[in-house]
Amino acid sequence: MLAPLLLVVAAGATSIAAGPATAQPAAKPRPLGQVVPAPASVSEGGPSYALSDKTRIRVDDDSNEAHRIGAYLADVLRPSTGYALPVTNRDAKDGIRLRLSSDRSLGAEGYRLQSGRYGVTITAARAAGLFHGVQTLRQLLPAAVEKDTRQQGPWKVVGGTIEDVPRYGYRGAMLDVSRHFFTVDQVKRYIDQMALYKINKLHLHLSDDQGWRIAIESWPRLATYGGSTQVGGGPGGYYSKADYKEIVRHASSRYLEVVPEIDLPGHTNAALASYAELNCDGIAPPLYTGTEVGFSSLCVPKAVTYRFLDDVVRELAALTPGKYLHIGGDEAHSTSHEDYVTFMDRAQAIVGKYGKKVMGWHQLAGARPVEGAVAQYWGYDATSAAEKAKVVDAAKEGTKLVLSPADRAYLDMKYNKDTPLGLSWAGLVEVQRSYDWNPQTYLPGVPDGSVLGVEAPLWSETLSTNDHIEFMAFPRLPGIAELGWSPTATHDWDAYKVRLGAQGPRLAALGIDFYRSSQVPWAAR
Ligand code: ACM
């Protein structure tokens, strides 16, 4: 199925990459190609569909998931349109239809959206595809549809067909809940924002020097003591098992897989402070509320270290339906290289024992990655050629890569020198710089098929509120999402910035406090 699909992609690209000329007066229905991430193929034409008080959301009889997605769509559309939008399995001439089919060309996450006089039909092989198609439909309606009070219509969707499948299967965003703790509701809000741009992995950085954020029954002080503070000395917090399950459940309802991370063997001061026996000298250090890195290490020669690790991985794996467990491995500056390799061997074996795939930061490439391991590259322009070569060599040996170059994909880097939040060790990262790179060619020499996708990490040394998260993530997160979803043929900054500019009123309608970069021609409505 690949060859015909690529042809469609190339044909569709012309309409998407047409540049500023695609901007339309706001009163007209949005062009089908104005979606972020750019769809793989777009063919516009025929009459548009207007939602009305007669519109029904029709789902197949036999799919609970399709019913759930229909109800989710109705929840998005009802407050602003004021329409009843009943979700039904009865035949309806007029309406929005969510259809599961056996069309395998749509893959695990793809969809087809057809709109015309009598309605909009979204077809997918799997529920995730229907969900992504629903996100596209949201973006085809006027931005005011996102508001939670009654708005003036009309609510028109332009006529035509979108066929869309993702470029990569791994399209992630990471939230550091260790440096500052974020509540379940805060995480859920960010998940909903990620879903709008078809992100499908939520990487949670659950432990670091400043805080341990997940309850582990066999080592309770990790959370109750190790989670009791944060950067700057605030009260911190942690997720009970029920809290974590609620995050997983909500993520799953938005078709995101949770990738939990316990950062090892460095970045472990919170654990070392909680249990004296984990320290080589048997003395627990104090809790840490600063922002230095690289000073802590688990005690590699001690047997208790591996009892601890086995318990933590066993309990966390049991709570996590997703296939990955991330073991960190970055900045282990207080662990000798020999100890690091020994430790990572044992940690990877424990992850495998509990049925999970190993994920680690790219320093894992300097140890002995197990078969099937995934290394997350977070280097930047100044990273040494030798360090990059280790990662490329590991990829040649079969290690898969997720790309998070710090001077492109780190959402906590300042946009410019005046940005009030964030850090700048990897440089200043404006919106264009964040978008304008290619995950496949970023590390020259990486074999085809090694890159699983991209991820945008958000470290929270300087961030403690929803507003902070949103100001740093938007508008860069949609750009990273597009790198993960859209075919390279659509990659064009001049066209992208116009599509992104059209997202401004939508982000505003959603109450997202985003950075109004002067690089982007923000639409008025
Ligand atoms: C990292 O930024 N230390 C992965």
Instruction: Decide: 378 in ligand 1 pocket, CB within 6 A.
Output: yes
| Paired residues of 403 in beta bridges | 377, 454
Sequence-ordered alpha helix ranges (H) in 87-226: 127-140, 184-196, 221-224
Active-site residues: which are they? 331
Instruction: Decide: 361 in ligand 1 pocket, CB within 6 A.
Output: yes
Which pLDDT score is estimated for 91?
80
- Predicted TM-score of the model (pTM): 0.94
Instruction: Decide: 331 in ligand 1 pocket, CB within 6 A.
Output: yes
Tell me, in angstroms, the distance from the centre of ligand 1 to residue 378's CA. 7
Distance CA 152, CA 65 (A): 31
Burial status of residue 385 (CB atoms within 10 A of its CB: 0-12, 13-18, 19 or more):
exposed
Mutate to test the pocket of ligand 1, among 459, 460, 461 (most ligand atoms within 8 A of CB): 459
| Paired residues of 75 in beta bridges | none
Ligand 1: residue whose CA is nearest its atom 2: 378
Question: Is pLDDT above 60 for 145?
Answer: yes
- Give the 3-state DSSP-derived string for 402-452, with helices as H, strands as E and coil as C: EECCHHHHCCCECCCCCCCCCECCCCCCCHHHHHCCCCCCCCCCCCCCCEE
Q: pLDDT band for position 28 (50/70/90)? A: low
Distance CA 75, CA 360 (A): 38
Instruction: Decide: 94 in ligand 1 pocket, CB within 6 A.
Output: no
- Domains, in order of start, for the chain: 32-164 (3.30.379.10), 170-486 (3.20.20.80)
Which pLDDT score is estimated for 66?
95
Tell me, in angstroms, the distance from the centre of ligand 1 to residue 263's CA. 10
Q: pLDDT band for position 451 (50/70/90)? A: very high
Question: For tokens 């590390």, what's the residue?
Answer: 443
Question: Is pLDDT above 70 for 15?
Answer: no
Tell me, in angstroms, the distance from the centre of ligand 1 to residue 330's CA. 6
- Angle between helix axes 466-473 and 184-196 (nearest 10 degrees) is 20
Question: Is pLDDT above 60 for 10?
Answer: no
Ligand 1: residue whose CA is nearest its atom 4: 330
| pLDDT (tens digit per residue) in 160-178 | 999 999 999 999 999 999 9
3-state helix, strand, coil in the chain (%, to 5): 40, 15, 45
Tell me, in angstroms, the distance from the centre of ligand 1 to residue 439's CA. 18
Ligand 1: residue whose CA is nearest its atom 1: 330
Instruction: Decide: 103 in ligand 1 pocket, CB within 6 A.
Output: no
